Amino acid sequence: MNKESIKAISLFCGCGGADLGLIGGFNYLDNYYKHNPVEIVHASDIDPKAINTYNRNFSHKASVDDIRDLCFKEVDADLVIGGFPCQNFSTVNPTKKPEDRKNQLFWELARVVEETKPKVFIGENVRGFYTLKGGLYFHLAKDRFEELGYKVFHKLVDVSLHGIPQKRKRIFMVGVREDLNIENFQFPIETHGVEGMPSAVPLKSVIDSLIPDDPKYYFSKRAVEGVKRAKPNMKRAVYQNLEEPCLTITSHLAKVSLNSRDPVLLVNEKKELYRRFSPLEAARIQSFPDNFKFVGSQGDAYRQIGNAIPPVYFWKLINSINEQVFDAPYKQAQNIMKRALEPNSYPLL
């Protein structure tokens, strides 16, 4: 039985982390993530630099657009995905008032879902979106999607439990249109770091050498002295244990300081040599393959990488959705045919 490809709309697509997972066809750490039957019919983001990277890496093209200017009433889609902007919901450093409705772009994701009525939508955000104000924003969004006729499943996911060398916790929402009668949705099962599974992938698996290609990645002597003088209650460099997954890669790695909670590497304790990650290393920690190219300055690359949804997790998520939602009617039809062809079976009425 031939199955048509899943038509997807990608909102807030950034450089395309989620979209790479959606489409598949890439290698990461000795595994091949096969192509998925997905066609991206629309991808857009407000950031032209992220779109440059996107268009460098995919054969289909994304556009530079403010989501608030777009209308999707005429677009035919089975799936809408959107990792809406998260800075406002960051528990560490919210940049805008999360209570201000115009900073809540999940309403735009909901509007596109209302306009296109896809079979499935996926929303993603930082943990703060789920926890801030006792979960107020998360529940506002969930209630809206339910009003629109979707059954909403959610999970706070730590991607280090899925073979990615990074402790990154994000809230994922999967909405399935009610008429599809999906009672339960099982998010991808953890493959690493839980009982009965191999241990989490260590950071060392994506770091070729502690000595960087370029000395510019070292922190200056002054920065190191500054940290040594810092009071015990001040934030200070969190150098990473190479035997464990890395702490979360954020979008401001270009400006990472030693007086912060951002992850850094300790190159030589005696010589007090610390360094930041290169963009290639940051991209690998996020599970991008090495052939994914970031366009623009290093600062642009770090921002796009830190903002991205790890492709490997998204690949696993879309495969779970494919199996449990998109493929379900085909599987049922195949089972009926199989049973009908069995000897002694009754003819189908």
Ligand X SMILES: C[S@@+](CC[C@H](N)C(=O)[O-])C[C@H]1O[C@@H](n2cnc3c(N)ncnc32)[C@H](O)[C@@H]1O
Active site residue ranges: 86
Distance CA 154, CA 171 (A): 7
Q: Smaller CB distance to ligand X: residue 10 or 324?
A: 10
253 binds ligand X (CB under 6 A): no
Q: Smaller CB distance to ligand X: residue 83 or 263?
A: 83
306 binds ligand X (CB under 6 A): no
Q: Which stretch binds ligand X (CB under 6 A): 6-14, 115-123, 261-269, 270-278?
A: 6-14
User: Shortest gap between Cβ of 310 and ligand X (angstroms)?
Assistant: 8
Report the helix count and the strand count for the chain, using DSSP H and E. 9, 12
Angle, CA 127 vertex, CA 121 and CA 131 arms, to 5°: 105
DSSP string across 5-28: PEEEEEES-TTSHHHHHHH--EEE
User: Shortest gap between Cβ of 241 and ligand X (angstroms)?
Assistant: 27
Q: Which of residues 97-156 bind ligand X (CB under 6 A)?
A: 105
Q: Considering only residues 66, 99, 178, 213, which one is a binding residue for ligand X as defined by CB under 6 A?
A: 66
Determine the residue type at 84: F
Helices (H), 238-327: 279-285, 298-307, 311-321
Q: Considering only residues 307, 315, 317, 326, which one is a binding residue for ligand X as defined by CB under 6 A?
A: 307
289 binds ligand X (CB under 6 A): no
Q: Smaller CB distance to ligand X: residue 242 or 295?
A: 295
Q: Which stretch binds ligand X (CB under 6 A): 60-68, 133-141, 216-224, 272-280?
A: 60-68
Q: Smaller CB distance to ligand X: residue 45 or 300?
A: 45
Q: Considering only residues 77, 86, 207, 227, which one is a binding residue for ligand X as defined by CB under 6 A?
A: 86
Binding-site string for ligand X from residue 9 to residue 28, where x marks contact by CB under 6 A and - marks none? ---xxxxxxx----------
281 binds ligand X (CB under 6 A): no
* Burial grade of 262 (CB within 10 A; 0-12, 13-18, 19 or more): buried
Q: Smaller CB distance to ligand X: residue 47 or 300?
A: 47
Q: How many CA atoms lie within 13 A of 314 on its CB side?
A: 30
Closest CA to 198 of 5, 30, 6, 333: 30
User: Shortest gap between Cβ of 50 and ligand X (angstroms)?
Assistant: 5
User: Shortest gap between Cβ of 38 and ligand X (angstroms)?
Assistant: 15
Q: Are 158 and 169 in contact (CB under 8 A)?
A: yes
Q: Smaller CB distance to ligand X: residue 182 or 287?
A: 287
Q: Are 78 and 7 in contact (CB under 8 A)?
A: yes
283 binds ligand X (CB under 6 A): no
45 binds ligand X (CB under 6 A): yes
Distance CA 4, CA 25 (A): 18
* Burial grade of 278 (CB within 10 A; 0-12, 13-18, 19 or more): buried
185 binds ligand X (CB under 6 A): no
Residue 283 neighbours by CB under 8 Å, 6+ apart: 290, 292, 294, 301, 305
Distance CA 199, CA 202 (A): 8
Distance CA 209, CA 218 (A): 14
51 binds ligand X (CB under 6 A): no
Q: Which stretch binds ligand X (CB under 6 A): 109-117, 236-244, 254-262, 304-312?
A: 304-312
- The site that binds ligand X (CB under 6 A) totals a number of residues, namely 21
Q: Interface with ligand X by CB under 6 A: which residues?
A: 12-18, 45-47, 50, 66-68, 83, 85-86, 105, 307-309
